[in-house]
Amino acid sequence: MPPGSSQRKEQSAGLVRLLGVTKMYTQPDHYDIRVLDDIHFEIHPGEFIALLGPSGSGKSTLLRIITGLSHPSYGTVLYRGQPVVGPNPHAAMVFQSFALYPWLSVQQNVELGLVAQGVAPDIRQKRAIELIDLIGLNGYEDAFPKELSGGMRQRVGFARALAVDPELLCMDEPFSALDFLTAENLRSELLDLWLESRIPTRAILMVTHGIEEAVYMADRIVILSKNPARIVADLPNLLPFPRNRKSAEFVQMVDQVYKIVTGWDEQKDTTPVNDEPFKATSDEGGRQLKPIPYGHISMLSGLLELVADRGGQDDLYRLGAELFLEVDDLLPVTETAELFQLAEVREGDLILTELGHSFVEQDVNDRKSIVRQQLKDVPMLRMITRVLRTKANHAMNKEFFTDILEEHFSVDEAERQLTTAINWGRFADLFHYDTDTEQLYLDEDQTEDPLPVASNES
């Protein structure tokens, strides 16, 4: 390394520095959706960082900004003190979907980064073979990706990224497309390579939604919130290697992270008003629509029944592990349960409420009426039913609602929100939806507001 750059390194210490990185997506109607909000953090040489957050929190976007694949709307990314413009040649990326080129052999895939650097054919061939050996794929040089198993494909993905001797290795959920055993195997192998310094990589940044995975591998865990993403916690993970998942310290660490991941939402819910960095909400007053979680009713019922069988309270982390659900899949369901006041999350535990207990005991029609009652307090559903009731023919095109939602959410998010709302509304018999005409409508018994019906306890 030239002396100048090492001096600079000492000055700024960090390999990568993020200064107030903010990312907005401009909607067609010029409404800006803020995905990342004022992110500051630093990656030091020698660190293995796990970036943890719920899906849709923008953690992948953040990773792409760090590697230079995407640009921040505001703020800067510095790499060794230099602003990053365009793809960073010192960083390499490993993808969740492997992103291998199906028409290139394993060897050609691994060589690709070296081809880009203009390395002579015989040198890059040697280098690629070394890496294929290192990653345990010798003998498969001439195979095509479609002939390999998932785990072997991701090995090629690692070899390709490592072939260019990256200082910063970025991984976007590298193990989540693999089955459990393969992922475990690959994790420990990568960890060995890293801990024994057999790869020249100076720092690793891994995006993941697996809390256990983060605690198992990383020595620093950065937790992001959602809508927009901010850093809610930045924890050192000092557990000694090799880490044992069964050890008390490990379980305690996982629990701690779980609490933070499941708890930030609670904080935000209780203090929605003093959120001053938000865009000026004052002029919109109470018209801000709150997003609803994408909880499936059938999953909700199943989860509540399970918890009821266990005495109405269970540890979320254990539930997730038993059901083979990542926190990402579990959270929307628990959030839905909380929204419907059927359960609450406290200290990483899911606790059924009284209403939750009666929900579990009753048959499907009573469940429907409970949900119907609860949906009255959800602003989005209230808005939809109000529109349908006040309209003379009690029918409205779906686009009307999509347009409204797009003022609050991104286009994709608006679509997902409305789909969930329609699912809930259909389940609760609040309104009907005709897929062919793309219309929401009420039939006769839905048109009047059944307000007088009191809380549903029988």
Partner 1 sequence: MNDARERPGVGMADVLVGASILALISVVIAWATHAHPYTAESGHISLVWWHLPLDAVYSWLRMLAAYVISLIFTLVYAYLAAFNSRAEKILIPLLDMLQSIPVLSFLPVVLLAFVALFPGSRIGVNLASIVLIFTGQVWNMVFAVYHGFITVPRDLRESALSLNLSPWQRFRSLELPYAMVGLVWNSMMSWAGGWFFLMAAEMFSLGNHAYQLQGLGSYLQTAANQGRWGAELAGLITLVLVIVLMDQLIWRPLLAWADKFKMEMVEGADRPRSTVLRILRRSLILDWLGRIVWTPLTEWSDRLFSATLPRIRTHATVASTVGLIRWLIVAFVVVVIVTALQGAYRLISQLTSGEVEIVALATMATLGRVVAALLISVVWTVPVGVFIGLNRKWAARLTPVSQIAASVPATALFPGLVALLIHLRGGLNVASVVLMVLGTQWYILFNVIAGASAIPEDLREATRMFRLTRSKTWTVLILPAIAPFLITGIITAAGGAWNASIVAEYVSFHSHVYTAFGVGAIIARSSQNHGFSVLLLATGTLAVTVVAINRLVWRRLYNKAADRYSVS
Edge-to-edge strands, sheet with 395-397? 395-397, 439-441, 432-434
Q: Is 97 in the site for partner 1 (CB under 8 A)?
A: yes
Between 175 and 424, whose beta carbon lies closer to partner 1? 175
Contacts to partner 1 from residues 431-450, by CB under 8 A = 436
Of 32, 147, 249, 266, the one binding partner 1 by CB under 8 A: 147
What is the x/- site pattern for partner 1, positions 382-421, by CB under 8 A? Answer: ----------------------------------------
Q: Is 146 in the site for partner 1 (CB under 8 A)?
A: yes
What sign has the CA pseudo-torsion 241, 242, 245, 249?
negative
Reduced to 3 states (helix: H, G, I; strand: E, B; else coil), residue 354 is: helix
Of 24, 78, 112, 323, the one binding partner 1 by CB under 8 A: 112
Report how far residue 383's alpha carbon sits from residue 430's, in angstroms, rounded to the nearest whole number. Answer: 12
Least separation in angstroms between residue 180's CB and partner 1 is: 20
Between 117 and 244, whose beta carbon lies closer to partner 1? 117
Please identify, among the stretches 87-95, 184-192, 253-261, 405-413, the one whose residues bind partner 1 according to the rule CB under 8 A: 87-95
Please identify, among the stretches 88-96, 131-139, 209-217, 397-405, the one whose residues bind partner 1 according to the rule CB under 8 A: 88-96
Contacts to partner 1 from residues 346-385, by CB under 8 A = none
Report how far residue 378's alpha carbon sits from residue 384's, in angstroms, rounded to the nearest whole number. Answer: 10
Contacts to partner 1 from residues 256-315, by CB under 8 A = none
Pairing type for strands 432-434 and 439-441 reads antiparallel
Please identify, among the stretches 142-150, 195-203, 278-286, 301-309, the one whose residues bind partner 1 according to the rule CB under 8 A: 142-150
DSSP 376-396: TTSHHHHHHHHHHHHSTTSEE
Of 53, 58, 145, 291, the one binding partner 1 by CB under 8 A: 145
Residue with tokens 């062919």: 436
Of 15, 16, 49, 93, the one binding partner 1 by CB under 8 A: 93
> How far from chain centre, in Å, is Cα 98?
18
Please identify, among the stretches 117-125, 211-219, 284-292, 305-313, the one whose residues bind partner 1 according to the rule CB under 8 A: 117-125
Report how far residue 264's alpha carbon sits from residue 223's, in angstroms, rounded to the nearest whole number. Answer: 10
Between 361 and 438, whose beta carbon lies closer to partner 1? 438
Report how far residue 219's alpha carbon sits from residue 236's, in angstroms, rounded to the nearest whole number. Answer: 6
- For residue 301, what is the DSSP state? H
Of 5, 20, 46, 116, the one binding partner 1 by CB under 8 A: 116
Between 64 and 394, whose beta carbon lies closer to partner 1? 64
Between 95 and 258, whose beta carbon lies closer to partner 1? 95
Record the tokens describing residue 169, joined without a space. 């290795």
What sign has the CA pseudo-torsion 411, 412, 413, 414?
positive
Q: Is 25 in the site for partner 1 (CB under 8 A)?
A: no
Structure-derived torsion over alpha carbons of residues 234, 236, 239, 243, reported in degrees to the nearest 10: 50
Between 85 and 453, whose beta carbon lies closer to partner 1? 85
| Size, binding site for partner 1 by CB under 8 A | 32
Least separation in angstroms between residue 438's CB and partner 1 is: 10
Edge-to-edge strands, sheet with 32-43? 32-43, 16-26, 74-79, 82-83
Query: Is residue 111 within 8 Å of residue 125, measured between CB atoms?
Result: yes
Helices (H), 294-363: 297-309, 316-322, 327-339, 354-361
What is the x/- site pattern for partner 1, positions 41-80, by CB under 8 A? Answer: -----------------------x--x-x-----------
Report how far residue 68's alpha carbon sits from residue 71's, in angstroms, rounded to the nearest whole number. Answer: 7
Of 35, 137, 164, 297, the one binding partner 1 by CB under 8 A: 164
Least separation in angstroms between residue 162's CB and partner 1 is: 12
Residues that bind partner 1 (CB under 8 A): 64, 67, 69, 85-87, 89, 91-93, 95-97, 99, 101-104, 112-113, 115-118, 121, 144-147, 160, 164, 436
